[in-house]
Structure 1
């Protein structure tokens, strides 16, 4: 075999080469992993986030000013999302992929009688309205071009109850409903619309409800231990990279006939109920 053949055989295929992507909430957590993986696979990327310093640090760490840029964006504000889309198109010429990743968990509340409706509105504003803003303005660019992939971050809380506060669970069920409905509308334009639903992932979001001084490494370890014990798939830890890989698949041409799908990245968690201890 020639040297060239050896190099090609050992080099992973860049599955997004020539593609342009916008990732909301791309400055940290799952969003940052998506940005880094998309970059490895050849995409040109705009990171849209309210965390300006972190977003700019991700861009600098990738060292690719021509292909990775940052724009400030609050997904609850439609003009911000519209501007982020226009900024991406202005920088890279088009938009092939949007990942609606920005989200919040909200504060725990174990008694509906104590629910704070302002908190409820805030969670829906980020998690649901923010996703809809992304879908709407991505479609504005994608419909005339008759192609595109819209991917939203959902949750195992979109499949069964009891996994999060009411606002969070309701917002994620709404993201799934929007995914199916927008997929139904945009199918005639060859635009695919999907969502990804991970099990618990140890990120800053998992601890966001805690006071600042309690968001420690020990707290993350405790979260990992708890989700590990409760998981269906034992001996394997779910990471942000695993979720990013699922998003990459849906963004790529490998998923060219997949639309309206809620891809569960949960090790079978939502398919199994071990409460009767049949297998444990």
Structure 2
């Protein structure tokens, strides 16, 4: 199968590329300059004799128009042209909470593309990862740095339930969907639900070998005010939208993802213990 991989410089995209290459797939992974989704003339040459497209492109930005174009309008046009040239399959890496009516542009644009794909007549697999952990991930590094603090102020005292998932489980799920040409939506979540506070405490234990931190409740208004101040210095990782997405996260069953993997995905304690087995950060 000839595979065109978009977004190979990102955390998930790079890991998917490495796994596909290791398995001997023929993968073309142009850079965003070589295949710019906002410039159709750059991606047209890459669609010749492509059997499958894997799209790992994602953008958290305060530029709502650019985000919607990159995550919805441009991929639609690319898929339509590729379909006319014999495209067999699309693997779309979406996001947990993606929905056509989501209030955040990031999730709304992802949800709109998902909905379009599912009604397009194309064979399509959609993976919606929860909060992804990798020692190399930008968001994971932010959580790890935060976990080092002995006192932590968290919205709702950190009681929000979340389903963190290991990067290698997400990649394994993506590759399995591609190998089996599986159609439909799969939520990639970890093997155990934990609260935000519990997750931070686990990070503190495994990454820093420290006793539990003291958790304090931070009012939602103050949390969002802090997010506004931190948006620039965090490179967009922390924003009002990212706070809302965390607090509004919905729990889903792990059964479907476990079936795809052929095993239960790792729990936070399992993947953090494996990541920091050599003694922490």
TM-score (norm 2): 0.57
Partner Cα distance (1:264, 1:153) in 2: 10
Q: Where does residue 104 of structure 1 map in the other structure? A: 59
Structural mapping, 1:225-236, within 5 Å: 230=160, 232-233=162-163
SS at match of 2:27: strand
Aligned residues: 187
Structural mapping, 1:161-240, within 5 Å: 166-182=104-120, 185-186=121-122, 192-202=123-133, 218-222=141-145, 230=160, 232-233=162-163, 238-240=165-167
Q: Where does residue 21 of structure 1 map in the other structure? A: 3
1:199: Cα distance to partner?
0.6
Partner Cα distance (1:205, 1:175) in 2: 25
Partner Cα distance (1:223, 1:127) in 2: 30
Q: Does structure 2 conserve the Cα–Cα contact (< 8 Å) formed by 1:157 and 1:172?
A: no
1:100: Cα distance to partner?
1.5
Name stretches of at least 5 consecutive residues in structure 2 with no aligned partner: 149-153, 194-248, 254-281
Out of 56, 76, 89, the position equivalent to 2:38 is 76
Structural mapping, 1:130-141, within 5 Å: 130-141=74-85
Partner Cα distance (2:179, 2:97) in 1: 26
Out of 241, 248, 262, the position equivalent to 2:175 is 248
Partner Cα distance (1:47, 1:224) in 2: 35
Name stretches of at least 5 consecutive residues in structure 1 with no aligned partner: 1-18, 53-71, 87-93, 108-118, 187-191, 208-216, 274-280
Q: Does structure 2 conserve the Cα–Cα contact (< 8 Å) formed by 1:27 and 1:49?
A: yes
Partner Cα distance (2:105, 2:9) in 1: 24
Out of 66, 80, 86, the position equivalent to 1:122 is 66
Q: Does structure 1 conserve the Cα–Cα contact (< 8 Å) formed by 2:99 and 2:108?
A: no
Partner Cα distance (2:142, 2:251) in 1: 28
Q: Does structure 1 conserve the Cα–Cα contact (< 8 Å) formed by 2:128 and 2:187?
A: yes
1:136: Cα distance to partner?
1.7
CA offset digits 1:18-46 (Å, max 9, x no partner): x2111101123110111011111210111
Partner Cα distance (1:252, 1:271) in 2: 27
Task: Tell me: CA distance 1:231–1:26, structure 2 relative to 1, closer, same or farther (3 Å).
Answer: farther
Partner Cα distance (2:113, 2:173) in 1: 17
1:95: Cα distance to partner?
1.8
Task: Tell me: CA distance 1:80–1:197, structure 2 relative to 1, closer, same or farther (3 Å).
Answer: same
Q: Does structure 2 conserve the Cα–Cα contact (< 8 Å) formed by 1:202 and 1:224?
A: no
Which of the pair is proportionally richer in helix?
Answer: 1
Q: Does structure 1 conserve the Cα–Cα contact (< 8 Å) formed by 2:99 and 2:107?
A: no
Deviant stretches of 4+, over 4 Å = 159-162, 202-207, 222-226, 228-233
TM-score (norm 1): 0.57
SS at match of 1:130: helix
Q: Where does residue 188 of structure 2 map in the other structure? A: 265
